[in-house]
């Protein structure tokens, strides 16, 4: 017998079938050489550090002189997919891409997927941070509660045959001014993660996104990578 939503009465069989379907998902294993689909030196360094313990031989799209695809997606996941698929199709090898950015509550989620574009063609993130601060000032966002923001990272591994593995994570925080610290890249110096006393710009790479057991996997990229590693990588 079914109820008015077409579900079996009692729900136990349906729940069991759902769990069975979830457990039957087979992820593809990542091994050997992997193309990192980025031309951003800071992002490349972070992604190489994350992959190193797993014995992955990584080379970047920049090092291969691959053309950067136009990021026409309307979500972080869509743009990560575009970059990974472009690199995989160009090289005939599996490719790994990240699309990440800063979403500010008081700015209705901006800059979001346009985080890199706010820095302009010369990648001037000091100017981009000043633009965010000016926008917050104009909206009267002066208290920490009014300056809440989130770093989001979407990761995609694409194979030349079209197979995709996709993962996403975020970290919540507050924007500070003036920026603090010279580490990291992008908007790191103005982002204070919840529960921390130092911005990402004041943290070393191990503290920011180091993986367990030594690190806590604090950053958005590390959190997304932990999901990817659990599904697709051998334990180091």
Query: Could you give the dihedral angle defined by the CA atoms of residues 35, 223, 73 and 113, in that order, rounded to the nearest 10 degrees?
Result: -120
pLDDT of residue 20: 41
- Tell me the whole-structure pTM to 2 decimals: 0.84
Of the candidates 211, 221, 236, 228, the one whose C-alpha atom is nearest the C-alpha of residue 30 is: 228
pLDDT of residue 8: 35
Could you tell me which residues are beta bridge partners of residue 59? 35
Using CA atoms, how far apart are residues 9 and 2, in angstroms rounded to an integer? 5
Give me the chain's average pLDDT, please.
Answer: 88
Tell me: pLDDT of 16 over 60: no
**Tokens describing residue 167:** 């993962």
How many residues in total does the chain contain?
A: 236
Catalytic center residues: 99
Strand 164-175 vs strand 191-193: parallel, antiparallel, or unpaired?
Answer: antiparallel
Which whole number is the average pLDDT over 34-61?
89
* CATH architecture for segment(s) 27-232: Alpha-Beta Complex (3.90)
Q: Cis peptide before 213, with omega less than 30 degrees from 0? A: yes
**Tokens describing residue 17:** 């079938």
Using CA atoms, how far apart are residues 199 and 178, in angstroms rounded to an integer? 11
Percent of the chain with pLDDT over 70: 89
Question: Taking the domains of the chain in order of start, what are their residue ranges?
Answer: 27-232
pLDDT of residue 67: 93
pLDDT of residue 112: 98
**Structural element, H or E, at residue 46:** helix 41-51
pLDDT of residue 3: 41
Tell me: pLDDT of 114 over 70: yes
pLDDT of residue 44: 87
Q: How confident is the model at residue 15 (pLDDT cuts 50, 70, 90)?
A: very low
pLDDT of residue 206: 86
């Amino acid at each position: 017998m079914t109820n008015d939503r077409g579900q079996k009465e009692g729900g136990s069989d349906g729940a069991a079938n759902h769990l069975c379907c979830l457990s039957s998902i087979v992820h593809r294993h990542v091994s050997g050489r992997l193309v990192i689909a980025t031309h951003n030196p800071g992002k490349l360094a972070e992604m190489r550090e994350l992959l190193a313990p797993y014995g992955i031989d990584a080379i970047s799209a920049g090092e291969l002189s691959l053309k950067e695809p136009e990021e026409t997606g309307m979500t972080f996941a869509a743009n990560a997919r575009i970059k990974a698929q472009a690199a995989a199709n160009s090289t005939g090898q599996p490719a790994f891409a990240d699309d990440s950015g800063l979403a500010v509550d008081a700015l209705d989620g901006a800059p979001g997927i346009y985080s890199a574009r706010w820095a302009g063609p010369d990648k001037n993130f000091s100017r981009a941070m000043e633009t965010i601060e000016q926008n917050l000032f104009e909206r009267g966002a002066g208290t920490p509660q009014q300056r809440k923001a989130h770093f989001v990272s979407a990761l995609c591994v694409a194979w030349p045959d079209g197979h995709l593995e996709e993962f996403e994570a975020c970290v919540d925080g507050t924007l500070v001014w003036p920026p603090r610290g010279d580490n990291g890249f992008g908007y790191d110096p103005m982002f204070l993660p919840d529960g921390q006393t130092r911005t990402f710009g004041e943290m070393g790479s191990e503290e920011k996104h180091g993986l367990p057991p030594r690190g806590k996997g604090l950053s958005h990229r590390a959190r997304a990578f932990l999901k990817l590693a659990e599904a697709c990588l051998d334990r180091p």
